[in-house]
Structure 1
């Protein structure tokens, strides 16, 4: 039986948002899906160059074109198998439940949240959420991060854990959202064990499949006021970015991480 509490999904575009929506909709009342357009490519690259430098960003672009896109094509069968095994689907979200905004941090988002009065806001794939949005309503914001925090914050936490030879910390974290980058207090963590035919494009799907049951538990914990926080694993907090073409090839040669 579905909970009568209201859930809002605050998300970016993409398959992961579709997958999470359909998984949650089985058990919860999804009142609205607020989807942001995201940062335009020019602005994104300009900011990335400022933070990382031209050479690294060029290497990331080469990785995207020469590795990531081809892997996405050849891995479609594996992705389908993972989703089927986990009982997940990535079909589009019904358009009548979607509110589209330019940015998750714009006034339209705040107005929608205030009007909807959700009990929980689930976050997926957005830019960093401002304090103004987080403080606009009396509800917890929960995110499922593709990495074990605080060791693997940022992006591609599963891949980077494998590249570092840190299999025990290749996994997913469900946490409360604050105004930092994957720095919120931890609700659940679980690990994945990739198979030999998995690679950079399938690790996130494995993480979704492993993490969604814990995301559901976290939502229920909040709704029932039974939250128990997890002590973060020991180790240095790290913020990770997209690999470059050369770093990816090196990790493939060094550790066989695809």
Structure 2
């Protein structure tokens, strides 16, 4: 007989994903983690060119150079956040990891059915299709680094600061539907940034200040107490900074 677990996680990996998964395992005990292969940059940029047009995407790609230059000196800041907040950005010893090509693959759906979780925690994956969402009778709950619905998509914390809205620097835990971060909202965190923070530290700062809402949401799911809330903000999906936007925002607002 297949083992049944209260929680299963879906992720493509990365330090911020493991911070959340480790916090959940510390609270609820060990559970399997299904790790998908990340999309290639070629596929990602091709999709963006189709959506946004070649000129805008070329500017986004050009912005990677100044963004890379601002990385200098951030290693110590990140080390400080990890130490102070006791973050664990690597898989814990003994974690049961199953590698799959995609969260939308047959093998992923087979594993979900095998584990029969009561709740599925999702962090840092590609969009999950209807077939996978319907493969188990359990809510799929996503951790998103941004305040929905105003900062759906990518780099929500950066764009909130770039728009002069530090009050919207934070994260959202929400139910997953077939849209891009459009599912019903469960909890949100509002996190303060430090003067030394930049593009490379925002996700770490956000993860450190958002583990509690992830634990609350999963606890609600396991106890049948999920209670989505309404957030009165305009809805917009963000992608990546353009070259002009990144440099201008850095000079004008000091947001790098």
TM-score grouping bracket, smaller chain normalisation: over 0.9
Change (3 A) 1:82 1:92: same
Matched residue, 1:33: 33
Matched residue, 1:22: 22
Q: Distance in 1 between matches of 2:216 and 2:62?
A: 39
Any stretches of 5+ residues in structure 2 without a counterpart?
none
Query: Alpha carbon RMSD of aligned pairs, Å?
Result: 1.7
Cα pair 2:32 2:95 within 8 Å, conserved: no
Change (3 A) 1:142 1:30: farther
Deviates more, 1:47-56 or 1:111-120: 47-56
Change (3 A) 1:28 1:70: farther
**CA deviations over 1:124-175 (Å, ceiling 9, x no partner):** 1111100111111011111111111001100111111111111221111111
Q: What is the TM-score with the length of structure 1 in the denominator?
A: 0.92
Q: What is the TM-score with the length of structure 2 in the denominator?
A: 0.93
Q: Distance in 1 between matches of 2:95 and 2:27?
A: 19
Which aligned pairs between 1:94-243 and structure 2 lie closer than 5 A?
94=93, 97-232=96-231, 234-243=232-241
User: Secondary structure at 2:9's aligned position in 1?
Assistant: strand
Q: Distance in 1 between matches of 2:253 and 2:71?
A: 21
Which aligned pairs between 1:37-76 and structure 2 lie closer than 5 A?
37-64=37-64, 66-76=65-75
Change (3 A) 1:6 1:72: farther
Runs (4+) of structure 1 exceeding 4 A deviation are 93-96
Cα pair 1:174 1:187 within 8 Å, conserved: yes
User: Secondary structure at 1:237's aligned position in 2?
Assistant: coil
Change (3 A) 1:22 1:131: same
Matched residue, 2:11: 11
Q: How many residues align?
A: 253
Q: Distance in 1 between matches of 2:72 and 2:224?
A: 43
**CA deviations over 1:88-144 (Å, ceiling 9, x no partner):** 111245576111111110100100000001121110111110011111101111111
Q: Distance in 1 between matches of 2:144 and 2:181?
A: 7
Q: Distance in 2 between matches of 1:225 and 1:96?
A: 26
User: Secondary structure at 2:11's aligned position in 1?
Assistant: strand
